[in-house]
Amino acid sequence: MPYIVAGDGSGGSIGHAGAMVREISAAGTLPQARNPQLPYRICVVCLGNICRSPMAEVILRDELAAAGLAGKVEVDSAGTGDWHLGEAMDPGARAELSRRGYDGSEHEARQIQQSWLADYDLLLAMDRSNLASLRRMAAGNSELAGRIRLMRSFDPDAAAQAEVPDPYNGGPEEYAQVFDMVEPAARGLARLLAAAR
């Protein structure tokens, strides 16, 4: 599976619910790196991996590079469902990124697998449904479950349990709203990672 290193510009089945973990805010702590000698690995997860999570991947990669974390943090994305495997980013999502000066043209949708969870230091769910799906995948493994967070938990101004709504089949304003929710969360996460690295 391909991984995107911050700043380089390159382009399972689900079972029963597992251990519940407390959400953190940007003032909280990050899960420890699985291996401090390797880059910190993040996967952003939504439903189909064509709208929210690839937008967040691109935005987070940019925030990490701006924080001086190029090569120190790797970011990729995936969906919990298989409806869009191999597809490009949703045109509305790509247009919003382009409008803001970002490029989403290299994205190819993929579905997260249970076996991938142990590869990541942090898994970011876009909404509570995605969070529940990831927790079911981590069932019985409290260490993995402890690495799963809501994306907006890193936005210091977001309410507890704040979600990023799915803009699929919506208008430009829905995609703009996603961008405006993801950017402060990505910035908050980049600040925490910069302080930790």
d(CA 63, CA 58): 9
Hey, what CATH topology would domain 4-196 get? Rossmann fold (3.40.50)
pLDDT at 11: 34
Q: Which of 145, 149, 101 is nearest to 127 (CA)?
A: 149
Task: List the chain domain ranges.
Answer: 4-196
Mean per-residue pLDDT pooled into runs of 10, the chain (197 residues): 34 32 46 95 98 98 97 97 97 98 97 97 98 96 96 95 96 98 97 92
pLDDT at 165: 98
d(CA 165, CA 126): 8
179 neighbors 55 (Cβ within 8 angstroms): yes
Which helix (H) or strand (E) segment is 75 a member of? strand 73-79
pLDDT at 29: 65
Question: Which amino acid is it at 176?
Answer: A
Tokens of 138: 């981590």
pLDDT at 197: 76
DSSP label at residue 111: B
Which helix (H) or strand (E) segment is 125 a member of? strand 122-125
57 neighbors 2 (Cβ within 8 angstroms): no
**Which pTM does this prediction carry?**
0.86
pLDDT at 66: 97
Helix ranges (DSSP H) in the chain: 52-66, 91-99, 128-137, 142-145, 172-196
* Secondary structure (3-state) at 99: helix
* Residues that are catalytic: 46, 52, 166
Tokens of 149: 């967070």
